[in-house]
Structure 1
Amino acid sequence: MRGFHYDKSRNQALLLVALFSLSVYLFFVHQRVREARLTVPPLTTGPEAQYAFKSAFREHADQHVENYLEGALVELRKRIAAENGGGYDPRKWPLKIWQHAPSGRVPGQYAPAVASWLEQNPGWNQTVIDDAAAAHFVRTVYGGVPEIVAAYEHPATRQVQRDLLRYLVLYVHGGLWAELDVFCRRPIYDWLAPPTNRRNKNAKNLWDTTANVVVGVDRDMPYASAETMRAWAWSRPYAFADHTILAKPFARPVRLAIARIVGHAAQIAGSAQPRFAGLFVDRDRPEISGEGAWTDTLIDTMSYHRSDLTWEAFADLVAPAVMPAADETAVVVLPVTYFANGQPHSAAGPFDAPQAAVSRTLRSRAWFF
């Protein structure tokens, strides 16, 4: 009988050939990807420095909404203070370390970094928040501000959820926030304590200032060329780190960051093409809720006493700087080597530089491994 004849041995041979070809193809793709990752993108400079930048989200910011959110957060502070018998001591830094792992389990590659915090800071309290605990926290503590809950839970802005959580936790509890891949290299107290050598015996202990936030420079490339900006996928040539932040409860920069991120998220959620909002969030996340949004928030906060403040004040920073801010507080800014060592740009210094306070153990680029 004529018809289709199934040749089992022939088809098995074809399958083996196909699998072998696929394996060879994937091997070469892997090699090309590895070579590309090991190649440092170009670091060229342009003719002029860029010390000021304004994102599209700030240009279209709804100031009315952000002011309302700030007011709601101030009322939340008052309510929490009343419930706790008068609030907190503004001179003290909470000895709390906060981190986030979606499932609650710390992946093996992050375990040494997570463990380093208590190894270097015995006596501190470390909490790793999972998604379920985070959602409960947001709904319970911030339930009276539905705009914040909506921004945290809206499907179109889920990519900013982790960034927003960072500030929501720090605003209420204070302490230190660190991403899972951040390795603590030396005790937190040493970051701002005066050097112990005799030459600096009169150095000021920066823990005794009116600062309520400590941040570090993450990128300092104001002369970066357009080619470098594209190659590194930077929205701006400078930024403060948001992977590690130390703050007192109810700090104004953190409050302002929440108001702005929620406002930016509202712009995305109200997009004319909500189906594609996630794509834009992924591309623009640094300016919506990431380091770009945090950088603008800090500079604007520190501009309270100096309206012309730009990144020029932080370029080539070599020692911690105490910057006056609103409400008779201050922000301590640490040089790039403290939080961003190991990068092949910004004169960041090596991982083991004496100034290194933390190091990111897993960067998106292969040269950090």
Structure 2
Amino acid sequence: MLFAVIALISLALAVRYLFHNSNATDLQKILQNLPKEISQSINYANTIQSTDSDLVQHFEKLAQEIRHQQDVQAKQFDKQRKILEKKIQDLKQTPPEATLRERIAFTFPYDSHAKFPAFIWQTWSNDQSPESVQDIKGMWESKNPGFAHEVLNHDVINALVHHYFYSIPEILETYEALPSVILKIDFFKYLILLVHGGVYADIDTFPVQPIPNWIPEELSPSDIGLIVGVEEDAQRADWRTKYIRRLQFGTWIIQAKPGHPILREIIAQIIETTLQRKKDDQLSVNLRNDLNIMSWTGSGLWTDTIFTYFNDFMRSGVRGKGHMEIIP
């Protein structure tokens, strides 16, 4: 429209000039051609405006294509970075004289000030219906939006163990040697938390409150590396018939940062016990007795490992907050 207005003003000035410098005949001719001149001026202005609009659209499309290319390149760079980091990690070699615990610590280092990863890990077997598993999965996800939630079957678990621990053959040998699915699942929960951290929860558990609320407000998450719950604080005289320890910590729900020393220690102990049993041809035990499971891979060994960690911490003379929280 701006071009049309300018054209009309120019035309008016031309008419005024000709009016003063031309005779009546010339003026009549000009007036006759006036509608044609106005139409041409308007059409020219519309053509210019249309061209400008097409040019703007072209630039917008070009900008979108550039942004898309930048996003694709950024994803490719990130993927290449991860591949390069993995190759660098693979090239790192522990000293030949390194112990099992040192190799685990080297491969899966612990950062006490890191954040708790937003992962939820659960396992299930074919004995459970898909509907019930989905219901439980939905409860965890509704309480914890934004968390990555994985429910893994035995085939996936087996693949993950071989993927993450190919550089520590003792772990693979132990996993294969464990004589039951229950023992393998116990072992796996420590392994997956060692690698990724987050929350492991048995498939028959459900959240009473969101995971971020598990840490009391007066405590900083950077001061805590592991959260466990009390499985039993036995008051009965015959507690030994059902539990390994009078005060026993549960393994049905664990929250941890990757590489936590307690995870490293319990994994090492399970390896040592299992490989010794294999060497002595004593892998076949009565697994219908829960106490055998508790002492091999379960809450009994878990409790002893935690208390040993506490005792070592106390003996170290270090003062201040520890890196573990117990939920009643």
* Same structural fold, with TM-score higher than 0.5 when normalized by the shorter chain: yes
Kindly indicate whether the alpha-carbon contact (under 8 Å) linking 1:220 and 1:238 is maintained by their aligned counterparts in 2: yes
State yes or no: 1:77 paired with 2:89: no
Match of 1:306, SS? helix
TM-score (norm 2): 0.63
Structure number with greater CO (CA < 8 Å, separation at least 6) is: 1
Kindly indicate whether the alpha-carbon contact (under 8 Å) linking 1:97 and 1:125 is maintained by their aligned counterparts in 2: yes
Deviation at residue 225 of structure 1 after TM alignment: 0.7
Matching residue of 1:43? none
Deviation at residue 229 of structure 1 after TM alignment: 3.5
Match of 1:263, SS? helix
Amino acid at match of 2:232: R
Matching residue of 1:187? 210
Amino acid at match of 1:99: Q
Matching residue of 1:218? 231
> Which has the higher Rg, Structure 1 or Structure 2?
2
Kindly indicate whether the alpha-carbon contact (under 8 Å) linking 2:248 and 2:303 is maintained by their aligned counterparts in 1: yes
Kindly indicate whether the alpha-carbon contact (under 8 Å) linking 1:217 and 1:240 is maintained by their aligned counterparts in 2: yes
Kindly indicate whether the alpha-carbon contact (under 8 Å) linking 1:157 and 1:265 is maintained by their aligned counterparts in 2: no
Paired residue for 1:139, among 162, 174, 182?
Answer: 162
Amino acid at match of 2:159: H
Kindly indicate whether the alpha-carbon contact (under 8 Å) linking 1:242 and 1:290 is maintained by their aligned counterparts in 2: yes
Match of 2:99, SS? helix
Paired residue for 1:245, among 237, 251, 254?
Answer: 254
Amino acid at match of 1:76: T
Written as runs of structure 1 = structure 2, the 5 A alignment for 1:98-177 is 98-103=121-126, 107-154=130-177, 156=179, 158-177=181-200
Deviation at residue 247 of structure 1 after TM alignment: 0.4
State yes or no: 1:234 paired with 2:246: no
Question: Structure 1 unaligned runs (5+)?
Answer: 1-66, 79-86, 195-203, 309-321, 336-369
Q: Distance in 2 between matches of 1:104 and 1:273?
A: 28
Q: Distance in 1 between matches of 2:320 and 2:306?
A: 10
Question: Structure 2 unaligned runs (5+)?
Answer: 1-97
Deviation at residue 213 of structure 1 after TM alignment: 0.3
Matching residue of 1:25? none
Larger helix proportion of the pair: 2
Kindly indicate whether the alpha-carbon contact (under 8 Å) linking 2:119 and 2:147 is maintained by their aligned counterparts in 1: yes
Matching residue of 1:285? 293
Amino acid at match of 1:332: E
Match of 2:145, SS? coil
Matching residue of 1:265? 274
Residues 225-269 of structure 1: CA deviation (Å, up to 9, x unaligned): 13x543xx2232221111000001111111111111122222332
State yes or no: 1:332 paired with 2:325: yes
Amino acid at match of 1:210: D
Q: Distance in 1 between matches of 2:320 and 2:204?
A: 28
In structure 2, relative to structure 1, the CA distance for the partners of 1:166 and 1:110 (3 Å cut) is same
Deviation at residue 224 of structure 1 after TM alignment: 2.7
Deviation at residue 106 of structure 1 after TM alignment: 5.5
Written as runs of structure 1 = structure 2, the 5 A alignment for 1:37-52 is none
Match of 1:123, SS? coil
TM-score (norm 1): 0.56
In structure 2, relative to structure 1, the CA distance for the partners of 1:168 and 1:136 (3 Å cut) is same
How many equivalent residue pairs?
229
